[in-house]
Structure 1
């Protein structure tokens, strides 16, 4: 199954007060961590969508073999980055069976988790979505198969992929990912994470 990864990294991190993409965990920026996880999987292409602070963030991943797409409309919300990511993927690989969306602020995402998602999607042809379950919710990382690409392209404003997951529950498989609850959105969440989970 030809699967692409789209890393959504265009936001301004307004709740954090600083570009979260450049925050350090174990001496490595969050954007670099997620990019390295992505290239450690069989997925191709790997597309990263940048927007706010893109010139600073691009420097962190310029030596990693991934495609970087600038989203000049990042302020229009998450849907614009999802669309740009799909366009970037299509430019590289037109015969795409599925895409996986990742964000930079989930430090426990691993290549093993992504591979498990792909395996579940491959073994269950009737399933069109594989999403992660944590903290009584369903969300990213999430895999969508080709039949839902048009739905993704029709998202508007700050609508995210979760809307499509909720509309297609009967076609969705879930993977338990309890560590997904660690989502670094604020400076307090980041400081708490570094204090308690940094291995250094």
Structure 2
């Protein structure tokens, strides 16, 4: 099976006032750490969508081996998934969709989802509800192209025409970042204390790390 990972990192951060993708996290950036986790999954292809902060992200984050899709209109509510579909390898049997601000998703959760999803759509079911990663087989790509925003993905899951399998995962839905309180909770959850003050990323020294492990870049 040929599996593509689609990491959604185009959405803006109006509540933060700075690009969430560049927030300092565990010695690098939030998106950098999430990309590392996605690379560890060993996808046959890895695609990431970027929005209006694409220039800053390219300067500070290692995107080696990743197919980047620029979706500048995502900040106005347009779907970044729709243009990303044009970058998907023709051999792809299905997509695993991930959030760009959710570094706590594990490869075990991803591959359990792929292995156990017995329907065109598979959703990870955590102790406190549904969340990413989500699986979309090739037969759903037409429906994905009809999305008006990335948030409509959940409407497709909950009320769309395709059968859905819930795949159990251990623990609660991994933390995401929409506000400074979310960021503080994320940093505090994975470290004994915040690694540095909660300030905009331009004021925080960030190490951009090039992962040393091998990955597919088809």
TM-score, L = length of structure 2: 0.79
The residue aligned with 1:174 is: 166
1:197 counterpart = 2:190: yes
My pick for the range that moved more, 174-183 or 141-150, is 174-183
The residue aligned with 1:88 is: 87
Q: Pick from 184, 188, 191: which aligns with 2:177?
A: 184
CA contact under 8 A between 2:41 and 2:107: conserved in structure 1? Answer: yes
Q: Distance in 2 between matches of 1:184 and 1:19?
A: 11
3-state SS, counterpart of residue 38 of structure 2: helix
CA contact under 8 A between 1:4 and 1:96: conserved in structure 2? Answer: yes
Question: Structure 1: which 5+ runs fail to align?
Answer: none
Deviations 1:93-115 (A, max 9, x none): 11211001111222311222212
Q: Distance in 2 between matches of 1:170 and 1:66?
A: 29
When you count helix as a share of all residues, which structure comes out higher? 1
TM-score, L = length of structure 1: 0.85
CA contact under 8 A between 2:81 and 2:150: conserved in structure 1? Answer: no
Q: Pick from 121, 138, 144: which aligns with 2:136?
A: 144
My pick for the range that moved more, 169-178 or 39-48, is 169-178
Deviation (angstroms), 1:135: 6.1
Change (3 A) 1:63 1:7: closer
Aligned residues between the structures: 192
3-state SS, counterpart of residue 130 of structure 1: strand
Q: Distance in 2 between matches of 1:170 and 1:156?
A: 18
Between structure 1 and structure 2, the one with the greater Rg is 2
The residue aligned with 2:34 is: 34
Deviations 1:73-96 (A, max 9, x none): 2234252x011221111xxx1121
Change (3 A) 1:23 1:73: same
Change (3 A) 1:67 1:61: farther
Q: Distance in 2 between matches of 1:72 and 1:192?
A: 29
Q: Distance in 2 between matches of 1:196 and 1:62?
A: 25
Deviations 1:8-32 (A, max 9, x none): 1111111222211111221121111
Deviation (angstroms), 1:69: 1.2
RMSD: 2.2
CA contact under 8 A between 2:4 and 2:96: conserved in structure 1? Answer: yes
